[in-house]
Amino acid sequence: MDTGLPTTLDPEPRQGAQAIRRALFLLRVLAAGGESGLPLKEVVQATRLSRPTVHRIIHVLMEEGLVEHHERSGRYLIGTQVPELALARPSRSPLLAAADDILRETSQRVGDTLFLTVRTGNDTLCVDRRIGSYPIQVLSIAVGARRPLGVSSAGIAILAALPAQESRRIAATNEPRFAGYRTNRQTVLSEIADARRRGYGVREVGLVQGTKSISTWIKTAGGDPAAALTVSAVRTRLGPRREQEVVETLLKAAYEVEQKIR
Amino acid sequence: MDTGLPTTLDPEPRQGAQAIRRALFLLRVLAAGGESGLPLKEVVQATRLSRPTVHRIIHVLMEEGLVEHHERSGRYLIGTQVPELALARPSRSPLLAAADDILRETSQRVGDTLFLTVRTGNDTLCVDRRIGSYPIQVLSIAVGARRPLGVSSAGIAILAALPAQESRRIAATNEPRFAGYRTNRQTVLSEIADARRRGYGVREVGLVQGTKSISTWIKTAGGDPAAALTVSAVRTRLGPRREQEVVETLLKAAYEVEQKIR
DNA sequence: ATCCGGTGTCCATAATGTGGACAATAACCG
DNA sequence: CGGTTATTGTCCACATTATGGACACCGGAT
């Protein structure tokens, strides 16, 4: 049992900015709300901050234009300032560039929808999507979709590729947000363990009813997970037999991307 | 004399978030640094905060991934998290959509480079650019370019379209940043006055040597300036005679955009 | 060796941000 | 309708947090 002391390298200290960190965390939670946003209550829950604090911070962010308040629904959402700030970084990420061709090929070969998902803080973020040729496609997850690490197969894959200690930490941090996705810390941890054993992540019961997803991870030269590559399809299309085929294709594609980004 | 009570509508107070506001201001200053970023020193100057404060905030923003530190140059710049947050707002702004066709037509008619610039906080932000047919084009200003309101003709136009009180306030706020653009508050104020009289903004000595710019403003239904429409060209191409022609075209285009966004 | 401009760090102190408690508002219902 | 509940908004005494003056470091110029 340790007493809560300096762990390894850079245990991310640097204090004197509680408020700023909270505000940014709030922004990320709101980002998860996407275009439709979230009611205050949900932000409070996901955040574990007191309601007055959340309220105050959100309103400051509103005055600053980073958050907007939808009158009719009373929901809060990411404001226009954010994309404006983003214009300062016009260049495309190396990952997206590297993955472009490979995604195209792989999606053709597989026939089902392919997703490229990165980790951002304690969330997963879908950054690219390719639609396959098969007539039934899982389209419910859009580019920009963001969810807590652990609730999607991509999240499981990324957590599995992280050091055990960190994945546990993240699972604990995200715990309050799991409820909204009908899962919990126990399940997540065992899914991660399964994924480590198998070499890829699976979610039999996808976020969308009747779908199934398979994810492999892509690591950087340094060994950190850079992204996950996911195939989603209606469950019946991913029986044990085809699961093996798809996994092989995914692993190969992931490997190719890894080579390209080094 | 009142005792400090509800004034009019929203006098924008809401306190209890100094640190957050400072952090956001910092982000905007960094955004102005674009892809190459800024050294700490310049951020401190533009910001008028103490160096330790800037340092601390920037480093927290780094830990949070909103800011990056370029090793070689030591400069700080907007990090990858920002575009990631922006994905939560995939929809294109109504302004951009409305202006699209009009920009295309106008740019063909005029032949010189056309810019669409919005106000964001105390800055101008170039959100669209169309290159004309004339062989010499002013291309130095890219989409995403951001500068303090007041240093470009677009900024002058937008300030001219604001209530006098607010434009004065902004000119005062931005004063510390003017030095870097070889202008000052006096000049800016008189340029605004000229623009109000004439009905459009001009900068004889553009940010780029030997260029000249003319800007008209676009107002929302509420009367607030929504954007500026700018033509930039080598100075010799915008003599008094042609200035009149271009202004007429711009005013017409601005009017059409105004109609579309209501 | 010394200076110098810039960057990074420390810590006593005051001002800032916090959250419990209360108020307003809206929606639902017997 | 008055009553009940669920959610959002506001207030303010207080302690925690963020502040900035002072000091340390680092690399390059002289």
Closest C-alpha among B155, B166, B67, B71 to residue B119: B155
Q: Give yes or no: residues A23 and A70 share one domain.
A: yes
pLDDT single digits (tens) B58-90: 999 998 999 999 888 889 999 989 999 998 887
pLDDT single digits (tens) A18-40: 999 999 999 999 998 888 889 99
Selecting from B17, B66, B80 the residue whose C-beta is nearest the C-beta of A24 gives B66
The region of weakest confidence among B1-5, B56-60, B221-225 is B1-5
The Cα–Cα gap between A141 and A130 comes to 11
Interface residues, strand D, Cβ cutoff 7 Å: A 15-20, 39-41, 44, 51-52, 55-56, 59, 69, 74; B 16, 18-19, 22, 49-53, 56-57
> For all residues of chain B together, what is the average pLDDT?
89
Give the CATH number for residue B39.
Answer: 1.10.10.10
pLDDT single digits (tens) B112-167: 999 999 999 899 999 999 988 888 888 878 899 999 999 999 999 999 999 999 99
Mean pLDDT of B87-115: 91
Residue B10 has pLDDT above 90, yes or no: no
Residue B228 has pLDDT above 70, yes or no: yes
Q: Give yes or no: residues B159 and B183 share one domain.
A: yes
Q: Give yes or no: residues B167 and B195 share one domain.
A: yes
Chain D footprint bases within 7 A of protein beta carbons: 7-12, 16-22
- For residues A214 and B204, the model is more confident at A214
Mean pLDDT of B92-118: 93
Query: Which one-letter amino acid corresponds to residue A122?
Result: N
Kindly state whether A34 is in contact with chain B, defined as any CB-CB distance less than 8 angstroms.
yes
Give the CATH number for residue A209.
Answer: 3.30.450.40
For chain A, percent of residues with pLDDT exceeding 90: 66
- Find the nucleotide nearest A50 (Cα to C1′): C19
Going by C-beta distance under 8 Å and a sequence separation of 6 or more, which residues neighbour residue A25?
A47
Kindly state whether B149 is in contact with chain A, defined as any CB-CB distance less than 8 angstroms.
no
Helix axes B40-47, B164-178, angle to 10 degrees: 150
Chain C footprint bases within 7 A of protein beta carbons: 6-11, 15-21
The pLDDT value given to residue A10: 44
Kindly state whether A122 is in contact with chain B, defined as any CB-CB distance less than 8 angstroms.
no
Q: Give yes or no: residues B36 and B134 share one domain.
A: no
Distance A225 CA to C19 C1' (A): 38
Has residue A4 been placed in a domain?
no
Instruction: Please provide the DSSP assignment of A43-94 as one string.
Output: HHHHHT--HHHHHHHHHHHHHTTSEEE-TTT--EEE-THHHHHHTT--SPPH
Q: Give yes or no: residues A130 and A255 share one domain.
A: yes
For residue A111, what are the CA distances in angstroms to A24, A29, A236, A242? Answer: 38, 33, 14, 12
Q: Give yes or no: residues B114 and B234 share one domain.
A: yes
Has residue A8 been placed in a domain?
no
Beta-carbon separation of A144 and B88 below 8 A? yes
Residue A115 has pLDDT above 80, yes or no: yes
pLDDT single digits (tens) A154-173: 999 999 999 999 999 999 98
Q: Give yes or no: residues B57 and B181 share one domain.
A: no
Which among A86, A112, A130 is the end of a domain?
A: A86
Has residue B185 been placed in a domain?
yes
A48: left (phi over 0), alpha (psi -120 to 50) or beta: left
Which among B34, B55, B86 is the end of a domain?
A: B86
What does the CA dihedral A245, A250, A251, A252 come to, rounded to 10 degrees?
90
The separation between CA A216 and the C-alpha centre of its own chain, rounded to angstroms, equals: 14
Residue B110 has pLDDT above 70, yes or no: yes
Has residue A1 been placed in a domain?
no
Q: Give yes or no: residues B144 and B69 share one domain.
A: no
Helix axes A240-260, A94-110, angle to 10 degrees: 150
Which letter does DSSP use for residue B129 in this model? E
Residue whose entry in the numeric block shows the structure tokens 């104020």: B189
The pLDDT value given to residue B218: 97
Has residue B74 been placed in a domain?
yes
- For residues A189 and B137, the model is more confident at A189
pLDDT single digits (tens) A235-254: 889 999 999 999 999 999 99
The pLDDT value given to residue B252: 97
Mean pLDDT of A68-72: 87
> For all residues of chain A together, what is the average pLDDT?
89
Residue B240 has pLDDT above 50, yes or no: yes
Which class for A139: exposed (0-12), middle (13-18), buried (19 or more C-beta within 10 A)? exposed
Contact B149, B155 (CB under 8 A): yes
pLDDT single digits (tens) A122-151: 999 999 999 888 888 888 788 999 999 999
Q: For chain B, how big is the Rg over CA atoms in Å?
A: 19
The Cα–Cα gap between B138 and B156 comes to 19
The pLDDT value given to residue B128: 94
The region of weakest confidence among A108-112, A211-215, B208-212 is B208-212
Has residue B147 been placed in a domain?
yes
The pLDDT value given to residue A142: 87
The Cα–Cα gap between A245 and B175 comes to 64
For residue B194, what are the CA distances in angstroms to A192, B181, B250? Answer: 66, 20, 18
The pLDDT value given to residue A67: 93
The Cα–Cα gap between A111 and A210 comes to 18
The pLDDT value given to residue B23: 94
Q: Give yes or no: residues B55 and B162 share one domain.
A: no
Residue B205 has pLDDT above 80, yes or no: no
Residue B9 has pLDDT above 70, yes or no: no
The region of weakest confidence among A12-16, A92-96, A109-113, B209-213 is A12-16
The Cα–Cα gap between B136 and B118 comes to 25
Has residue B12 been placed in a domain?
no
**Domain total of chain A:** 2
Has residue B125 been placed in a domain?
yes
Which among A39, A58, A86 is the end of a domain?
A: A86
Q: Give yes or no: residues B138 and B209 share one domain.
A: yes
Q: B8 pLDDT band (50/70/90 cuts)?
A: very low
Beta-carbon separation of A121 and B24 below 8 A? no
- Give strand pairing partners of B231: B114, B214
The pLDDT value given to residue A5: 32
Domain that holds residue B153: 94-260
The pLDDT value given to residue A8: 34
Q: Give yes or no: residues B229 and B101 share one domain.
A: yes
For chain A, percent of residues with pLDDT exceeding 70: 94
The pLDDT value given to residue A13: 64
Distance from CA of B14 to the nearest CA of A (A): 7
Q: Give yes or no: residues B147 and B222 share one domain.
A: yes
The pLDDT value given to residue A4: 32
The pLDDT value given to residue A84: 92
Q: Quick one: CA dihedral B243, B32, B21, A60, positive or negative?
A: positive
The pLDDT value given to residue B17: 87
Q: Give the side-chain half-sphere CA count within 13 A for B63.
A: 18
